[in-house]
């Protein structure tokens, strides 16, 4: 992508599917999911989310929108990220 064609590149991007109750993975590595989104925050102890994974809460309601996995790949613990 260059400055000359950035508008065309952005126009041709395909959107991700809408958020669903089950988290949808955006970025995944060998360590687990690093970035995901959905309408329901993954429950504690769920496996597959890398430590530090960010979850974007897309339920459309007011309140916390970003959560971070402070647990492990085998037992997640998503806590709200506070922005001050």
**Where does the pLDDT of residue 5 fall: very low under 50, low under 70, confident under 90, or very high at 90 and above?**
low
Show the CA angle centred on residue 77, arms to residues 26 and 32, nearest 5°: 35
**Where does the pLDDT of residue 24 fall: very low under 50, low under 70, confident under 90, or very high at 90 and above?**
confident
- Please provide the average confidence, as pLDDT, over all residues in the chain: 85
CB 32 within 8 A of CB 48: yes
Question: Within the chain, where are the H helices?
Answer: 6-11
d(CA 18, CA 54): 17
Phi, psi of 24 (to 5 degrees): -105, 130
**Percentage, residues of the chain above pLDDT 70:** 80
Above 70 in pLDDT, residue 22? yes
pLDDT of residue 47: 94
């Amino acid at each position: 992508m260059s400055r000359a064609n950035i508008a065309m590149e952005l126009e041709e991007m395909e959107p991700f599917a809408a958020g669903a109750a089950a988290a949808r993975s955006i970025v995944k590595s060998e360590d687990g999911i690093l970035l995901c989104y959905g309408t329901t925050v993954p429950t504690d102890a769920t496996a597959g989310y890398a430590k530090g994974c960010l979850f974007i809460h897309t339920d459309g309601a007011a309140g916390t929108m970003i959560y971070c996995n402070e647990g492990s790949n085998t037992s997640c613990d998503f806590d709200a990220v506070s922005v001050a």
